[in-house]
A and B are shown apart, each in its own frame.
Chain A
Amino acid sequence: GNSVTQMEGPVTLSEEAFLTINCTYTATGYPSLFWYVQYPGEGLQLLLKATKADDKGSNKGFEATYRKETTSFHLEKGSVQVSDSAVYFCALSDRNSGYSTLTFGKGTMLLVSP
């Protein structure tokens, strides 16, 4: 079956530091890949996505590239801010006719200090 593995947290960084959160996946076929973010007390919201190999998703300074050869979708940001403190989930979609189900990683908490 499908699975997503992401690095355990918490990841603790100082403001303006470089961020990498690793994500690898196992899937049949050609899934789409996602990063979702969950701020404290809120539901998940889509951060970025990529639908095919070599695609780069980007949003709010975050980037991730769909690497089929290494089955990876690592999240990066060049300079983190305190407001980026949240839990980040890597996910893949298993698309069927008319709907999709997402398989999530366990989440990585990011803590950014001033």
Chain B
Amino acid sequence: NAGVTQTPKFQVLKTGQSMTLQCAQDMNHNSMYWYRQDPGMGLRLIYYSASEGTTDKGEVPNGYNVSRLNKREFSLRLESAAPSQTSVYFCATGDNFNTGELFFGEGSRLTVL
């Protein structure tokens, strides 16, 4: 019972490089989210997808793109990484009863040099 799986768990990039963070869920949830966590800032929403085929910007979308590949998968892409994108990234899903509860992956730690 994997829940929400993120890959990779760790990544080091140089400024200007690109990469994609992958997220897959086996919970059959409709909504999926990408958050970033920075010291003293809590979690901030980057993008979310209410259902397959839809995506919307969150609080801090600049420098990121997303793809909702199918119901299970929601990827986050950094086209040209910047040091300000050094962070821990969390993928989450929301249950289909719209209770507001989210289920989180273990996180992906990204360092941009």
Contacts and interface: CB of A to CB of B under 8 A. Distances in A.
The binding surface of chain A is classed by DSSP as strand
A99 B30 CA distance: 8
Interface residues of B, number: 27
B106 A99 contact: no
Contact of A99 (B31, B44, B58): B31
Contact of B100 (A44, A93, A105, A107): A93
A98 interface: yes
Interface in A68-97: 89, 93, 95-96
Q: Which of B30, B31, B101, B106 has the most CB of A within 10 A?
A: B101
Contacts, number: 69
A22 interface: no
A51 B99 contact: yes
Interface residues of A, number: 24
A54 to B, nearest CB: 18
A107 B83 CA distance: 23
B98 A102 contact: no
Nearest to B29: A99
Interface in B82-113: 90, 92, 94, 98-102, 104-107
Given A99-B30, A99-B98, A100-B94, 16 more contacts: A32-B99, A42-B107, A43-B105, A44-B43, A44-B104, A45-B104, A46-B101, A49-B99, A49-B101, A89-B42, A98-B51, A99-B31, A100-B31, A100-B98, A102-B45, A104-B44
